[in-house]
Structure 1
Amino acid sequence: MSSVLVTGFEPFGGASVNASWEAVRRLPLRIRNADIHRELIPCTFAGSASAVHAALERHRPDVVVCVGEAGSRTRVSIERVAVNLDDARIPDNAGQQPLDAPIDAAGPAAYFSRMPVKACALAVDRSGVPAEVSLTAGSYVCNHVFYRLMRMLEKELPHVVGGFVHVPRGETIGPDAAERALRAIIETVLERGSEDLPLRGGRED
């Protein structure tokens, strides 16, 4: 039986809700015979990745999908690349605001997602929710968690499929649609593992 860990963030920047957690907490406890473990993590540079690591040790999942909110986006974004950079426009929930700082001085410049990002975007589109493959997860706590997750998987859990997804604010697509998108992503990863579809989807800008 498979096990899937899905994380969402607490509110940040003065907001009362975070669209990522509103979507994650609506997920059922089983999807395609896989157990779904939902975890709320802090929106802090110091605590977020530690919370993910603790959840990995607690649940020992086969799949990890970390989810964050991207307020400027209108589509569910399946992130392809995590970069080794913390550069915060606003402080996190602990008041920390790193400037041009490496996430891991000993780590590579970037990691690619292990999820089949194009297949996931297609599945979300087919569920009726607009989706895209994104080439930037930003440089705030979301990217920090994405990078640290991939670093953890490389070092400790090489068999685990993992990646990051951004959802728009709730007023853009709504929490029920965001939850439907996450279900489509989870189903795709459970079916395909890391094997992606050979779809053209690059960018020129």
Structure 2
Amino acid sequence: MKKKVLLTGFDPFGGESVNPAWEAVKRLHGETARDISIAAEKIPTVFGKSADVLEKAIEKHQPDIIICTGQAGGRPHITPERIAINIDDARIADNEGMMPIDENIAQDGPAAYWSTLPIKRIVQTLKHNGIPASVSNSAGTFVCNHLFYRLMHHLALSSSGARGGFIHIPYLPEQTIDKKEPSLSLDVIVEALRIAALTAASHETDIREQGGSLD
């Protein structure tokens, strides 16, 4: 049976003219390989609205796997996230000027959710293909973590059986002209997310990285 993977990427934020997350996932929209089809959707970098758009995309595509992606300027690797925490604590405003401080994402939700992607297998496969990768244990407290937590909360309340998680990616080279930060080319990021999508759809989550909530 063919499996569906939904990839999402944010629009630019924080003064950047591009967001490598959206630039990468839109290249993968419509691809099919190994009986796995990929769809991509653009997500606004806005607390609340980002998750609303994601939930509509899940309803539209009915995916088996959802991988949200976001920019993590300063990181040198592709970094699948292990955990989403139930807090919004913004150091800058989102794209609509909202800047929540120490606010719960879901009042009725657990403290955190594990990713239900096979994150270590994804990292291992990326490294095997010459792409720098490592597991991250913090998705931050900005819109990326907000979306990751809302995704996992949505899946926890759903009977779909879908699995999901979040992957952070570095800057593109053109974003670092005036920065002393690492970057990866768009072609490398696209290939990394292609590998992550196919790996996640082909393998269940290992018992050591199984999903669920943390009360």
Q: Is the 8 A contact 1:7 1:21 kept in 2?
A: yes
Moved more, 24-33 or 82-91: 24-33
Q: Equivalents in 2 of 1:58, 1:66: separation in Å?
A: 16
What secondary structure sits across from 2:55 in the alignment? Answer: helix
TM-score normalized with structure 2 length: 0.89
Q: Is the 8 A contact 1:20 1:67 kept in 2?
A: yes
Q: Is the 8 A contact 1:117 1:196 kept in 2?
A: no
User: Residue 93 and residue 159 in structure 1: after superposition, are their counterparts in 2 closer, same or farther (change >3 A)?
Assistant: same
Offset from partner CA, 1:149-192 (integer Å, 9 cap, x none): 00000101451111000000112011110111111111211211
User: Residue 157 and residue 70 in structure 1: after superposition, are their counterparts in 2 closer, same or farther (change >3 A)?
Assistant: farther
Offset from partner CA, 1:86-131 (integer Å, 9 cap, x none): 0000000000000010001110000000001100111111121100
What secondary structure sits across from 1:150 in the alignment? Answer: helix
Q: Is the 8 A contact 2:82 2:115 kept in 1?
A: yes
Matched, 1:115 2:117: yes
What secondary structure sits across from 2:157 in the alignment? Answer: helix
Moved more, 32-41 or 52-61: 32-41
Matched, 1:191 2:192: no
Structure 1 equivalent of residue 107 of structure 2: 105
* 1:45 shift after superposition: 0.2
Q: Equivalents in 1 of 2:139, 2:131: separation in Å?
A: 19
What secondary structure sits across from 1:188 in the alignment? Answer: helix
Amino acid of the structure 2 residue aligned with 1:90? I
* 1:196 shift after superposition: 6.2
Structure 1 equivalent of residue 86 of structure 2: 84
Q: CA RMSD in A?
A: 1.4
* 1:193 shift after superposition: 2.3
* 1:35 shift after superposition: 1.6
Structure 2 equivalent of residue 36 of structure 1: 38
Q: Equivalents in 2 of 1:197, 1:178: separation in Å?
A: 26
* 1:42 shift after superposition: 0.2
Matched, 1:60 2:71: no
Q: Equivalents in 2 of 1:16, 1:196: separation in Å?
A: 40
What secondary structure sits across from 1:49 in the alignment? Answer: helix
Structure 2 equivalent of residue 201 of structure 1: none
Q: Is the 8 A contact 1:127 1:180 kept in 2?
A: no
Amino acid of the structure 1 residue aligned with 2:139? A
TM-score normalized with structure 1 length: 0.93
What secondary structure sits across from 1:72 in the alignment? Answer: coil
Amino acid of the structure 1 residue aligned with 2:26? R
Structure 1 equivalent of residue 163 of structure 2: 161
Offset from partner CA, 1:40-88 (integer Å, 9 cap, x none): 0100002100010000000100010000000020100000000000000
Amino acid of the structure 2 residue aligned with 1:9? F
Amino acid of the structure 2 residue aligned with 1:149? L
